[in-house]
């Protein structure tokens, strides 16, 4: 169990998050959606243990997150931040290998690295210098690093901050499929997503954040409604449905006058 309860986060007296609950369970994908500045990334950072909430707490395996040692935490959760600059000319394979813990023998770690690079469609990129890759390729390298970390851990949770922000359509789908595979193999996943349609497609549970508050939560078909889209983004659009779930067509949207 990996749960945040009544999370509050203040910066200079201003609440970025206010009383947010979030629960991750093995086998499930939770997607957080909401407009820019809603506090999505901050929530993910608090879940990761990178920032400490000013109110509420995060429990992992019944222990407060602040009591975890970094090395132990790394075996239970892997984090994909939005974008990563790497100083010094590290090779792609070296960056991905940073995901493996020191407990994993070197030969095994090398096998995990090449498996992860193949999984993100970068099988031949191991010997390239990370800094020379395009933004989308770098993002997939980081995702491969996260996969290696999850695979060398124990039933690890994935925390993904806009994992497909700079990817083309096929690779967006690839990353979502990998997240789904991870969930099906018994891991829990939290992802921050911008694209409501992708979120509706991939998530078991959606959490809608606005101004640091959770304004809706539940299965996508219940959460994604005309009213929610109006409330979140101030955009009037019609939600339609297909057998797999709800979707919105931006073409039907009207911006507020």
Partner 1 sequence: MSATITIAAMQPLPVRRGGLVIAAAAVFLVAALLASLAIGPVYIAPGRVVGTLIDALAGARPSEGTGMRDAVVVLDIRLPRTVLAMLVGGGLAVAGAVLQGVFRNPLADPGLVGVSPGAALAAVLWIIFGSAAAGYLPGSVAAFGLPLAAFAGGLVTTVLLYRIATREGRTSVAMLLFAGIALGAMAAAGTGLAVFVASDQQLREFTFWTLGSLGGASWQKIAAAAPFILLLIVGSRWLARGLDALALGEAEAFHVGVNTELLKRVAIVLVAAGVGASVAVSGVIGFIGLVVPHLLRLSAGPSHARLLVGCALLGGALLIASDIVARTIVSPAELPLGVVTAILGTPYFLYLVQRNRAVLGG
Q: Compose the 39-68 pattern: x for residues touching partner 1 by CB under 8 A, - for all others.
A: ------x--xxx------------------
Q: Smallest gap, in angstroms, from Cβ of residue 94 to partner 1?
A: 6
Q: Compose the 197-216 pattern: x for residues touching partner 1 by CB under 8 A, - for all others.
A: --------------------
251 touches partner 1 by CB under 8 A: no
Q: Figure out which of the listed residues 21, 111, 123, 132 binds partner 1, where binding follows CB under 8 A.
A: 132
191 touches partner 1 by CB under 8 A: no
Is residue 198 within 8 Å of residue 177, measured between CB atoms?
Answer: no
The beta-strand segments (E) located in 53-114 are 55-60, 63-64, 77-80
Mapped onto helix, strand or coil, the DSSP state of residue 169 is helix
* CA gap 29, 192 in Å, rounded: 11
127 touches partner 1 by CB under 8 A: yes
Which residue shows structure tokens 């889209």? Answer: 229
102 touches partner 1 by CB under 8 A: yes
Q: Smallest gap, in angstroms, from Cβ of residue 30 to partner 1?
A: 19
Residue 202's nearest CA partner among 246, 154, 150 is 246
70 touches partner 1 by CB under 8 A: yes
CA 233 to chain centroid: 21
Is residue 177 within 8 Å of residue 203, measured between CB atoms?
Answer: no
10 touches partner 1 by CB under 8 A: no
CA distances from 63 to 4, 91, 190 (A): 12, 37, 19
Q: Figure out which of the listed residues 15, 59, 91, 215 binds partner 1, where binding follows CB under 8 A.
A: 91
Contacting positions for partner 1 (CB under 8 A): 45, 48-50, 69-75, 78-79, 81, 83-91, 94-95, 98-99, 101-102, 127, 129-132, 145, 149
């Amino acid at each position: 169990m990996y749960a945040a309860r009544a999370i509050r986060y203040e910066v200079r007296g201003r609440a970025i998050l206010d009383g947010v609950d979030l629960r991750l369970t093995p086998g499930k994908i939770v997607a957080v959606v909401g407009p820019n500045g809603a506090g999505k990334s901050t929530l993910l950072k608090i879940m990761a243990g990178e920032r400490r909430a000013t109110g509420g707490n995060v429990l992992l395996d019944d222990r407060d997150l602040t009591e975890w040692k970094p090395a132990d935490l790394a075996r239970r959760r892997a984090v994909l931040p939005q974008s990563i600059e790497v100083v010094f000319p590290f090779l792609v394979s070296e960056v991905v290998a940073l995901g493996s813990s020191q407990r994993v023998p070197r030969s095994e770690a090398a096998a995990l690295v090449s498996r992860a690079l193949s999984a993100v469609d970068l099988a031949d990129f191991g010997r390239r210098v990370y800094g020379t890759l395009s933004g989308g390729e770098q993002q997939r390298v980081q995702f491969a690093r996260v996969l290696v970390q999850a695979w060398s851990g124990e039933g690890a949770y994935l925390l993904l901050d806009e994992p497909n922000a700079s990817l083309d359509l096929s690779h967006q789908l690839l990353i979502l499929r990998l997240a789904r595979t991870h969930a099906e193999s018994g891991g829990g996943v939290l992802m921050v997503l911008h694209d409501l349609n992708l979120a509706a497609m991939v998530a078991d549970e959606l959490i809608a954040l606005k101004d640091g508050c959770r304004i809706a939560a539940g299965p996508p078909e219940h959460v994604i409604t005309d009213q929610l889209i109006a409330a979140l983004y101030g955009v009037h659009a019609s939600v339609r449905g297909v057998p797999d779930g709800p979707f919105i067509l931006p073409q039907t949207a009207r911006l507020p006058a």
